[in-house]
Structure 1
Amino acid sequence: MKKQLLRLPLQFILTCLGLFLFSGAGSLLMYDHELVIHIAKYIHTLQLIGKDLLDPGSIFVQVEADGKEYPIFPMMLKLFGYSFLLLVTSFFIAVVSAAVLSYLAMLLPRRAHRFFLRILELLDSLPDVLVVVFLQLFIIFLFKKTGILFFDIYALGEERIYMLPIFCLAVMPVAFLVKNFLFQLREEGDKPYVEFSFSKGFSKAYTLWVHLFRNVWVSFYYHIKPIFLLMLSNLLIIEILFNINGFMVAMLSTAVSKPSAFFIGMLMVYIPFFLLFSLGQLLLTKYTGIHEEAEA
C-alpha cells in the first residue's frame, strides 16, 4: 500500500511530462521531398506551449466550421462535459449489458454456448464504423416505413443529441467486454471454491452470480483502462459520424493547429480518470489485498 502511494505521484508526473512532449509531436516530422525529423522546430513548439501555459487566457481554439475562435475556457469545459456525459453513460450501459449477457451465456447448454461464441466473434470482427452506419441506416429505414424519427441521427449547429450516440457507443464494445467477462469467468470456474459451492448444493446460477461474479468484478477493474481507451477512441468516431461538435473533434483539430490547447485537453482527460482509477486501485488493494501486478 505504501509502495503504491509513493509510486502514484511519480507515475502522474512522468505521464504529464510524456503528454507535454507528445503535444508538440505534430511539428517533429516534416515532409520536404522526403520525411525528415525537425528537432529545432519541435523544441521551438514546446517552448511556445510552455509560454501559452503561463497565460491560458491567451489560448483560443476553433471548434466549429464557421472559422470563429473561442477562448479555451470555458469552451473546452463545455465540450468536455457533453462528450464525457456520452462516454460515461454508454460505458455503464455497456458494462451492465455485457455482465448480463455473460451471465446468461454461462447458463446456456454447451452447443448453444458455442453458437453464442461464434456470433460474438462475428460481431467483434465488424468495424466500429460499420456498426454505427448500419444503425443510422436502420433508423432511416424505420422513418421511411413509419414516418416516425425515433432518434436524431445528425447534429446541426449547436444542437445536442444523446440517445443514438449513447446507444452506438455502448453497443460497439459489448462483444469485447463479453469476451473479457467470459474469459475471466472460465478462469475463476477452475478454482476450488467453485467445486466447494457445488458440493454444498448451491445451483450453478447461484454460484455463478454470487461467487464467480464477485471475484470477476475485482479482476475486471484492473482491465478497465484498455476498455476506457477503446471507448475513448470510439467517442471520436461517434462525434465525426454524428456531426457532433464535441471534445474529441476539438482535440483532433487542435493537435496541429494549437498544441498548447491539445496538451490542456489531454490533461483534462488524464487527470480526472487518473484520480478515479488510482482511488479505486487503492481501495481494492486495501479491502481485497489484490495488487495490480498480481492481476497483470
Structure 2
Amino acid sequence: MNWIARKSSQILITCIVLVGISALPSLVGQLEFVPSNYWGGLQQQFSQLTKLDEITYFNVTAQRELPLLPAIGPLMKETVIIFMTSLVVAVGFALVYAYFFYRSGRRVRTVLRQTSETLEMVPDLFWLIFTQFLAITLYKKTGFDRIEVAGGFAEYIRFLPIVTLTLTILFFFLKWLTKHILQEETTPFLELARAKGVKPVSMFWKHLLPNLVYRFYLFFRSNLITVLSSLLIIEYLFNVQGIFRFIVYNPSMPILLVILFVIYIPIFLVDVLAEWLIPDAWKGGV
C-alpha cells in the first residue's frame, strides 16, 4: 500500500508541475518579463485539461487549423522508434563492453576507462555533425545515396538520428559501467564466489550483472531528461518528423501542455512496470 500511495502522490505532484511548466511562456509578453501573467496562465492551463480535444494547431499543408490529438500520433511514433531503437542498441553494445572490460587485464582496462571518460565528454552536436559528414563523404567516394542526412517536409529520416542518439547514450553508459564494475569486483560476495571457483562467465552474468541492473536503471531514469534533450536537438537539426520538432515549430501553451503529458505518462507507466518486475533481490537495499 505504501508503494501505491507513493506512486499515486508522485503522478499527482508531477502533473501539477507539468501544468506549471506548460504555463511558463505566459511569463513573457511582448518580449518583456511579466510575472503577474503567470497566475492567469496557470488558470488557463488547468481549464485546458478539461477540453484537450479542442486544442488545434496550424497545418502548413492544409493551410488551416486541425485538431491536435489525432495529428500527434505519427509524430510520437517516429520519436518512440528512434528513442527505443537507439536505447536497445546502446544497451546491447554496453553489455558487450561491460563483459569485455570485466575479462580484460589491467592495461586494457586503463585504456578503456580513459577512452570512455573522453568520449562521454564529447558534445552531442559533434556526433550529429560527424555522422552527417560520414554520410556525405560516403556519397562522394562511392556514390551511395541511400543515407539521408536530413529529412524533408512530411519525409521520414531514421538511420542517422538513431546512430547519433545511440552514440550519445552509449558513451553515457560506458563511463557508468566502467566505474561500477570496478567497485563491484571488490564486494565480499564476489570474492566469496571467486573463492568457491565460480567461472568468470558465470561470475559476470549471474552475480555481478544482476547486482548492477537496478542501480543502472535508477541511473538512466535520473538522467532521462539529458537523453530527451539530446533527442530534441537531433530531431530539430535532422528535421525529423517527431514530437520534439513539432513543439519547436508550434510553441503554444496548450500544445506544450498536451505534449508534456504525452511524454510523461508512458515514462511513468514504464517506471511502475520496471519497479514491479525487477526482483527485490536485485535491488539490494537501494
Instruction: Give the TM-score normalised by structure 2.
Output: 0.91
Question: Which stretch shows the higher mean deviation, 202-211 or 139-148?
Answer: 202-211
* From 97, 101, 120, the counterpart of 2:97: 101
Alignment of 1:213-252 (within 5 A): 213-252=209-248
* Structure 1 residue 65, shift from structure 2 partner: 9.0
Secondary structure at the residue paired with 1:70?
Answer: strand
**Change in CA separation of 1:68 and 1:243 when aligned onto 2, cut-off 3 Å:** farther
Deviation at 1:83, TM superposition (A): 0.9
Equivalent pair of 2:128/2:164 in contact (CA under 8 Å): yes
Aligned ranges 1:247-286 → 2 under 5 Å: 247-255=243-251, 258-284=252-278
1:38 to 35, 38, 54: 35
Task: Check the 8 A contact 1:30/1:38 in 2, yes or no.
Answer: no
Matched position secondary structure for 1:172: helix
Q: Distance in 2 between matches of 1:230 and 1:94?
A: 15
Moved more, 115-124 or 49-58: 49-58
Aligned CA distance change for structure 1 residues 66 and 241 (closer, same or farther; 3 Å): farther
Of the candidates 153, 170, 190, which is equivalent to residue 157 of structure 1? 153
Residue equivalent to 1:122 = 118
Task: Identify if the C-alpha distance between structure 1 residues 114 and 240 changes in structure 2 by more than 3 Å, giving closer, same or farther.
Answer: same
C-alpha displacement at 1:173, in angstroms?
Answer: 1.8
Change in Cα spacing, 1:270 to 1:290, as seen in structure 2 (3 Å) is same
Name the residue aligned to 1:28. Answer: 27
Shift of 1:38: 2.2
Structure 1: runs of 5 or more not aligned: none
> How many Å apart are 1:66 and its aligned residue?
8.7
| Residue 14 of structure 1 pairs with residue 13 of structure 2 | yes
Tell me the CA shift for residue 31 of structure 1: 7.4
- 1:7-52 alpha-carbon deviations (Å, 9 max, x no partner): 11011101100110111111224577xx64422x222222332343
The residue correspondences of 1:39-118 to structure 2 (distance < 5 A) are 39=36, 41-62=37-58, 68-118=64-114
Cα distance between partner residues in 2 of 1:226 and 1:252: 24
- SS state of the match for residue 84, structure 2? helix
Output the amino acid matched with 1:13: L
> 3-state SS of the aligned residue for 1:148?
coil
Distance 1:107 1:261 in 2: 50
Q: What is the alpha-carbon root mean square deviation over aligned residues?
A: 2.2
Deviates more, 1:143-152 or 1:22-31: 22-31
The equivalent residue for 1:290 is 283
Alignment length (residue pairs): 286
4+ aligned runs moved over 6 Å, structure 1: none
CA–CA separation in structure 2 for the residues paired with 1:172 and 1:283: 27
- 2:176 aligned to 176, 180, 183, which one? 180
User: Percent identity at matched positions?
Assistant: 26
Once the two structures are superposed, what CA deviation does each residue of 1:151-191 show, in whole Å capped at 9, x if it has no partner? 21111111112222111111112111011122222232121
Structure 1 stretch 54-63 or stretch 116-125: which is displaced more? 54-63
Match of 1:189 in 2: 185
